[in-house]
Amino acid sequence: MFTDLTDHVDRFKREVAPLGQFESLNPEVFDSDVAWSLADAFGEAQMMGMFPAHTLDGTDVSPALSPREVSAVVAFAGARHLRNQLFEAETRSKYEAGPVLYEVERSAALLRDLLKATLDKLKRVVDDDVASRRVLNEVYVIDAYALRSAGLP
């Protein structure tokens, strides 16, 4: 069994844009681009210690990811997308045509705080994942000692 990350493109779109607005906000982004972004996010999550038993081949992950693990990959991809948006964000724009003046100012601090909150959430996800594997491994070792002490193989 494997998970095809192309099946989760819509989850990513819901993560990074208001419902139904991804295509209008990102007109030049294709579903294949999103799938590769999910694959990159999976690799980043692996680099941080998640999914040690999984492998990535293109956009296919083996063995299959659980719904929780897919959500983690989507969250990593969303954080990458948000980080890239920060690079492109204009904090102040001013347009003038004759007597008409139009100004827009966006708070860079708001974007920074949003990215920080997202990264904090991802850190908690990674820490919980690593801690849960550690607990499972410790239980397995304790069970192995119990079996040996009982004279079982």
- 80-130, pLDDT tens digit by residue? 888 887 777 667 788 888 888 888 777 677 777 887 888 888 888 888 887
pTM: 0.71
Q: CB burial class (10 A; 0-12, 13-18, 19+) of residue 82?
A: middle
- Cα–Cα distance, 130 to 132 (Å, whole number): 6
Identify residue 76 by its one-letter amino acid code.
F
Mean pLDDT of the chain: 84
152 pLDDT exceeds 70?
no
More confident residue, 60 or 130: 60
Q: pLDDT at position 151, please?
A: 62
